[in-house]
Each structure stands twice: as structure tokens, then as C-alpha cells.
């Protein structure tokens, strides 16, 4: 497996524990006996969790695993996911409860009650139906964090259409690849988005993406920036429709149809080890059961009392599972914030927490480290006493950041839950329970009740306490992915072939047990990087680089970064003439070429994939079979002593790279 970086080694020397207070433990949703209850009869346990939902037809079988790795949960059951997230709360007398406190970046706000949410989702569902969208169709959504994004997702769920949400920061090329892969019929976007105080165009990028896209019949455009945007919104007559013109006049009456528990709910693309992103498929009953259950037990959520805020973007799985589905199924009152954390000032999040009395806050380590950098005096200016649970997701959290989070944001008393999961798992899998677990900073600790995870060696044998290896999930779980869109082979190959004998799901993460048997996640063991909690494959960035005319060859590694977890470092060999002209032009020509390549990657994939650093080299270290030895490049990128070079075809290559970099060539 991948060698661990020094930062990860520090993780493993942390030994402090933080048990919950008696007061918190006493009122917690989940008590210690939940583990034993789940272990006694897993299927019975999950059947109990599914009772959180309202089913039109009850299932006849909890789990059908006969066609593994294709699972069926709550077989024969029928439900409507949107009804469960919206209507039933209105029917039970909570129509006036605020579902969403929406906060726009420029300072505009909107409070949406469950009754209003029901009307908006119903209108949007009627609108989609009026365009001929039917169950099984795919609707692509590229929207920033505006309420319409949530209305659109729930409207799709309501009529049985699949949504494929594409992160707003993805390039036209990335959007197009996703639209084509899923044959999306409709695209929903906005005219523009506010980002760091400025209005930036969105529709123009979508238009660029959709040139010649044959499957797309209509583009629905939410007006967000309007006249703030310079120039007119580009428009294709006959294809493009304003959201307000299409949706506002629709009826608020819409009867939700019950769909099979295994009816597809959405596709979400994520990076894998090859260049082409995978469309991860999730279905209805099991997904909603596990997102609702985990949201209840991990965050200790109390409907009608708590104010919850998950800072993720709906473009990622965290936004799907912990802004839209789990929380709304649990009748949450939540904050949804449109913008960046430092607009217009670095206390924006704390100001929002103070204003809405947020009690549960869920964010990513990269942001926590950024807050640390900005300084303790910023949160100190605000009243954060409403907070009672803090959560972390997306990458390993270093103990220092964990302690800072608890002390500075959580007044040295709130439980911190470090939640491990993936796009593929659909919901939280490994996490402390805030009223039960004596938390250890830096460790996600233990699989949740009903979930089973193991750390195994190369042969699939569980390692002893104190040992390290690969994280596997050894039993199926309700919110597990049901496949890779259109590619069953890739699904089997990526997740199920590594430990096929045992039938384990291979997560792609390295992990370790401590002496108590608690799990510590150690980062990816494949060629996937984790930059600010976003998954980006090395191959994806390499393909983007070699698509530039000056690049002959490229190798990309993720190097430890104090803020973003990992930073993208690229090594490129330039084509002969490009290399010559840089030599002739001196240092500034080299800098310009590197800058151009960084921008090229941002244009091809999106700004999140922009390499932190690009090093121009004459050779790349390869084995005799031609495989690039990234381990050695990572040593260079992290300024470490270069490791064992004996398997290189030409061991002098590393000297060449190191000396070239030192002399700035």
C-alpha cells in the first residue's frame, strides 16, 4: 500500500479521549445498546430503521443479496422519496416549521416552511412533467446553492426521474461528459452565480457544454444574478426556459406516485482511478433509510428543536445525503448558505450560526484548518453557544484541527463526530456516536450499529489490533451503490474484484486499528487524490495536461498540504520545441508556460483540479515495465529524502529530476 506521509504518522500518536458528558449521553438519540441490538439481527435492525419512513407498500424481504454485488433492499416495498421528505411533515401538522433558512451570499435571505416546500416541489414536478419528463429519465442539474436546486432534486424524486447533479465549479467539458454518459434529457442551471462578492456567468458555460448535445431537449434557467451579470444571458429559443416562467404558474397540487424501493433515485459522478468519472447509482428505499437513520443517530438530531447546518455543496454526495435526503426525511430545520466562507468577511459562518442559533454544524477538515489560519479572534466575536454537535467529513482530520474545532467552536464541550463514508456508500458508515463514544481526535473509530467494516491485509485476512492495511466493508448496507451507470463490469472490477474470494467491498482507503480496535483512516491507497475533501484522480489531471499541445508526458501526485489535505503536484515533460523556447526565454518564459498549463487543467476539469505546482522535468521515473513510480515523485513533491530507486529502469533519473529542480531548470 501507499507509504504514509509524516502528517498521517502524527495522527497515530494521538491518545487523548473525550467521553460525552452525562447530560449529553442521557438525552442522546442513540444509546450504547444499539450496537448489540443491531448485531443480534441485522436485517431485523434495518427493518426497524426503515420504519422511520412512510411506505405505500411494505416490503416482503429486507435484503436480497443473491445476485451480489447487486443488492436489493426492502424488496417489494414502494414509497415516494419526496413525499417522505416533504408532504408527510405537512400532513403531521408541521407545515409551518421552517425547513430551510436560506442565506444568499449578497445578504438576501429566504425562509421556506415545509408547506411552502411542498408547493415549490409540486410545482416543479408539474413543470417537469409538462416537458414530458417521465420516471426513469435523467435530469442534469448544475446549480449553485439556491433553493431551486433542492426543489429540482425533490421534484425529480417525486416523479421518479433521476437527477445527476454536476458541481457548479465543473468545466463545460466535465458537464458535457456527464450529460452524454447519462443521456440527460433536461439540464437545469442558472443565469449566473455569486462567488466572492461578484456575479459570474453560469448559463454561458452550460451553453458551451451543450453545443451539439443531442439528448438535451430543454434547458431550464433559474434567474439568480439577473442584471448584476454583465451582458445578456445567452439564449437558445425553443430550448431554453426561465424557471420562473415555467414553474411559477404551475399548480401546487401534485400526487406523488409510489415507486419501487429499488427505483433509481440519482446518479452522481465521482473520480476513479481512470480518467473517466464513474456515475454512481443510488436507489430509493435503502438509501433514504440509511441517510435518515445516520442523520438521526450521528448528529443526535431532534426535529423541531435543532437547527442544523451542513456546509457542503449539493454537487457532492454530502449535499445529497446530508442536506437534501436524510435531514428532510427527519423534518430538519436547516441553514443553506449560497456563498464562500469569507464573503464579505471571515466571520460569515459564525455570524450565521449566531443569527439562526445553529445547534448542529457539519463541515470538512480543510475548512476547519482554514478557520484556524484566519485566527481564533474571529469566532470569538460571535455567540456560538447554540452549538451542541460538530461533525467532520471528507478526509482524515488531524488531531490538532479536531481539538481546535472542539475547543474554539464547541466551547471545549461539544462532541465532535468524524464521519467516514464515500459517494459509493451513500451514507455515513464509520463514526462515533456522540452520546456513547469516548471520542479520539483523528479517528472515525467504529462502524455504526448495523454496519460492518474491517481492516484487512493483502490476502483479505483481518489484521490484529495495532495493525494496518486496507479498509473493507464486509456486509451489504442499505444505502450502498447499486452500480456504475452503464458499466456493470467496472462496478465489479473497481469495488469487488480485489477481495472477491471473501466478497468484501474494497473502499480504496488505507486504515489501521489501534490497540483498542478503533479504526484510523489513512487516506487513499489508489491513484485518487483528496484535495479539500474533493476526489480527483491523478489520471484525470494527467489526461488534461497531455491534451495541451506543449506537453509530451505528465505524471501527477497528491502531496500533503497543510490546508487542503493534499495538493496536486504535476511533473511534465514538454515537447521538444516548447522546451527549447522556454530555455531560450529564461525563467519568466518557464513561469508563463506553467501558468498556462495550470489554467488549462482548470478549463478542462474545473478550478478545483488546478495543480498547486507544476514541475518541468526532462525524464520521469519508470519501472522496467514502463510504470511511473509515483512514490518517488511524491518524495520530491513533499521534499523528502528519495526512497528506494532500485526498481527503476534508469536509477539516475531521480538525480536528474532533483538536480534539475534545485538549479531551477
Q: Which residues of the chain form contacts with ligand PRX (CB under 6 A)? A: 270, 317-318, 393-396, 418-423, 444, 507-509, 521, 524, 530, 535
Q: Is 551 annotated as a binding residue?
A: yes
Report the nearest approach of ligand PRX to the CB of residue 365 (Å). Answer: 8
Kindly give, in sequence order, each residue whose CB lies less than 8 Å from that of residue 158, ignoring residues fewer than 6 positions away. 80, 81, 82, 83, 121, 122, 125, 254, 256
Q: Is 197 annotated as a binding residue?
A: yes
- Measured in degrees and rounded to the nearest 5, phi and psi for residue 557 equal -130, 160
Q: Is 421 annotated as a binding residue?
A: yes
| Strand, coil or helix: 28 | coil
Q: Is 520 annotated as a binding residue?
A: no
- Pick 128 or 507: Cβ nearer ligand PRX: 507
Q: Is 524 annotated as a binding residue?
A: yes
CB 268 within 8 Å of CB 534: no
Report the nearest approach of ligand PRX to the CB of residue 337 (Å). Answer: 18
| Strand, coil or helix: 87 | helix
Report the nearest approach of ligand PRX to the CB of residue 273 (Å). Answer: 12
Enclosing H/E stretch for 189: strand 186-190
- The C-alpha cell of 339 is what? 456563498
- Pick 299 or 421: Cβ nearer ligand PRX: 421
Q: Is 420 annotated as a binding residue?
A: yes
Q: Is 546 buried (19+), middle (13-18) or exposed (0-12) by CB count in 10 A?
A: middle
Report the nearest approach of ligand PRX to the CB of residue 658 (Å). Answer: 30
- Pick 221 or 444: Cβ nearer ligand PRX: 444
Q: Is 206 annotated as a binding residue?
A: no
Kindly give, in sequence order, each residue whose CB lies less than 8 Å from that of residue 56, ignoring residues fewer than 6 positions away. 78, 79, 80, 258
Report the nearest approach of ligand PRX to the CB of residue 630 (Å). Answer: 17
Euclidean distance between CA atoms 452 and 219, whole angstroms? 43
Please report where in the chains the cell 434557467 appears, as a residue: 221
Report the nearest approach of ligand PRX to the CB of residue 317 (Å). Answer: 5
Euclidean distance between CA atoms 147 and 102, whole angstroms? 7
Q: How far is CA 597 from CA 53, 170, 558, 614, 615, in A?
A: 50, 17, 17, 8, 11
Report the nearest approach of ligand PRX to the CB of residue 112 (Å). Answer: 25
Q: Is 423 annotated as a binding residue?
A: yes
| Strand, coil or helix: 234 | coil
Enclosing H/E stretch for 123: helix 114-130
Chain centroid to CA 82? 21
Euclidean distance between CA atoms 251 and 253, whole angstroms? 5
Q: Is 196 annotated as a binding residue?
A: yes
Q: Is 172 annotated as a binding residue?
A: no
Q: Which residues is 550 bridged to in the sheet?
A: none
Both ends of the chain: CA-CA distance in Å? Answer: 33
- Pick 565 or 621: Cβ nearer ligand PRX: 565
- Pick 436 or 657: Cβ nearer ligand PRX: 436
Report the nearest approach of ligand PRX to the CB of residue 509 (Å). Answer: 5
Q: Is 342 annotated as a binding residue?
A: yes
Helices (H) and strands (E) in the chain, counts: 24, 30
- Pick 525 or 602: Cβ nearer ligand PRX: 525
Report the nearest approach of ligand PRX to the CB of residue 271 (Å). Answer: 8
Binding-site residues from annotation for ATP: 394-396, 418-423, 509, 524, 535
Q: Which residues are annotated as a binding site for Mg(2+)?
A: 546, 548, 551
Amino acid at each position: 500500500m501507499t507509504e504514509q506521509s509524516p502528517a498521517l504518522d502524527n495522527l497515530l500518536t494521538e491518545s487523548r479521549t473525550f467521553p460525552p458528558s452525562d447530560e449529553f449521553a442521557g438525552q442522546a438519540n442513540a444509546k450504547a445498546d444499539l450496537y448489540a441490538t443491531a448485531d443480534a439481527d441485522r436485517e431485523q435492525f434495518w427493518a426497524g430503521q426503515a420504519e422511520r419512513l412512510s411506505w405505500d407498500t411494505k416490503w416482503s424481504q429486507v435484503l436480497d443479496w443473491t445476485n451480489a454485488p447487486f443488492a436489493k433492499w426492502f424488496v417489494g416495498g414502494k414509497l415516494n422519496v419526496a413525499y417522505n421528505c416533504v408532504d408527510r411533515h405537512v400532513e403531521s401538522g408541521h407545515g409551518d416549521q421552517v425547513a430551510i433558512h436560506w442565506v444568499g451570499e449578497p445578504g438576501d435571505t429566504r425562509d421556506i416552511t415545509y408547506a411552502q416546500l411542498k408547493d415549490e416541489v409540486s410545482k416543479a414536478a408539474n413543470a417537469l412533467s409538462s416537458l414530458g419528463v417521465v420516471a426513469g429519465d435523467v435530469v442534469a442539474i448544475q446549480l449553485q446553492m439556491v433553493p431551486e436546486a433542492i426543489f429540482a432534486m425533490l421534484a425529480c424524486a417525486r416523479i421518479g426521474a433521476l437527477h445527476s447533479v454536476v458541481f457548479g465549479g465543473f468545466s463545460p467539458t466535465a458537464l458535457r461528459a456527464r450529460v452524454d454518459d447519462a443521456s440527460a434529457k433536461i439540464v437545469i442551471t442558472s443565469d449566473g452565480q455569486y462567488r466572492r462578492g461578484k456575479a459570474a456567468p453560469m448559463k454561458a458555460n452550460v451553453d458551451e457544454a451543450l453545443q451539439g448535445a443531442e439528448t438535451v431537449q430543454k434547458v431550464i434557467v433559474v434567474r439568480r444574478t439577473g442584471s448584476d451579470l454583465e451582458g445578456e444571458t445567452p439564449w437558445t429559443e425553443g430550448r431554453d426556459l426561465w424557471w420562473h416562467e415555467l414553474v411559477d404558474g404551475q399548480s401546487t397540487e401534485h400526487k406523488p406516485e409510489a415507486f419501487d424501493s429499488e427505483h433509481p433515485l440519482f446518479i452522481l459522478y465521482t473520480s476513479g482511478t481512470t480518467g473517466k468519472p464513474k456515475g454512481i447509482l443510488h436507489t430509493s428505499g435503502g438509501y433514504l433509510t440509511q441517510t435518515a437513520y445516520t442523520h438521526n443517530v450521528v448528529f443526535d438530531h431532534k426535529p423541531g428543536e435543532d437547527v442544523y447546518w451542513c456546509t457542503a455543496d449539493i454537487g457532492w454526495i454530502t449535499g445529497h445525503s446530508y442536506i437534501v435526503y436524510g435531514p428532510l426525511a427527519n423534518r430538519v430545520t436547516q441553514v443553506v448558505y449560497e456563498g464562500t466562507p469569507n464573503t464579505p468577511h471571515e466571520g460569515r459562518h459564525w455570524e450565521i450560526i449566531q443569527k439562526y442559533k445553529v445547534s448542529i454544524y457539519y463541515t470538512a477538515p480543510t475548512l476547519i484548518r482554514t478557520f484556524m489560519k484566519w485566527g481564533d479572534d474571529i469566532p470569538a466575536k460571535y455567540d456560538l453557544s447554540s452549538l451542541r454537535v460538530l461533525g467532520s467529513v471528507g478526509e482524515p482530520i488531524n488531531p490538532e484541527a479536531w481539538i481546535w474545532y472542539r475547543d474554539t467552536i464547541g466551547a471545549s464541550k461539544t462532541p465532535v463526530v468524524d464521519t467516514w463514508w464515500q459517494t459509493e456508500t451513500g451514507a455515513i458508515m464509520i463514526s462515533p456516536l456522540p452520546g456513547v463514544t469516548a471520542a479520539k481526535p483523528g479517528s472515525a473509530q467504529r462502524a455504526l450499529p448495523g454496519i460492518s467494516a474491517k481492516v484487512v491485509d493483502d490476502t483479505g485476512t483481518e489484521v490484529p489490533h495495532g495493525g494496518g492495511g486496507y479498509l473493507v466493508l464486509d456486509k451489504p448496507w442499505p444505502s450502498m451503490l447499486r452500480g456504475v451507470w452503464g458499466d456493470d463490469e467496472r462496478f465489479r472490477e473497481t469495488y469487488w474484484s480485489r477481495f472477491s474470494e471473501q466478497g468484501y467491498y474494497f473502499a480504496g482507503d488505507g486504515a489501521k486499528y489501534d490497540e483498542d480496535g478503533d479504526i484510523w483512516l489513512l487516506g487513499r491507497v489508489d491513484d485518487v487524490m483528496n484535495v479539500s475533501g474533493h476526489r480527483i484522480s491523478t489520471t484525470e489531471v494527467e489526461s488534461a495536461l497531455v491534451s495541451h499541445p506543449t506537453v509530451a508526458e505528465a505524471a501527477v501526485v497528491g502531496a500533503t498540504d497543510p490546508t487542503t489535505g493534499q495538493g496536486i503536484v504535476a511533473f511534465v515533460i514538454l515537447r521538444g520545441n516548447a522546451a527549447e523556447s522556454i530555455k531560450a526565454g529564461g525563467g519568466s518564459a518557464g513561469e508563463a508556460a506553467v501558468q498556462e498549463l495550470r489554467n488549462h487543467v482548470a478549463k478542462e476539469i474545473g478550478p478545483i483540479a488546478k495543480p498547486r505546482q507544476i514541475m518541468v522535468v526532462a525524464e520521469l521515473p519508470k519501472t522496467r515495465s514502463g510504470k511511473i513510480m509515483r512514490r518517488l515523485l511524491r518524495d520530491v513533491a513533499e521534499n523528502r529524502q528519495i526512497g528506494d530507486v532500485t526498481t527503476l529502469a534508469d536509477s539516475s533519473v531521480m538525480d536528474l529530476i532533483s538536480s534539475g529542480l534545485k538549479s531551477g531548470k
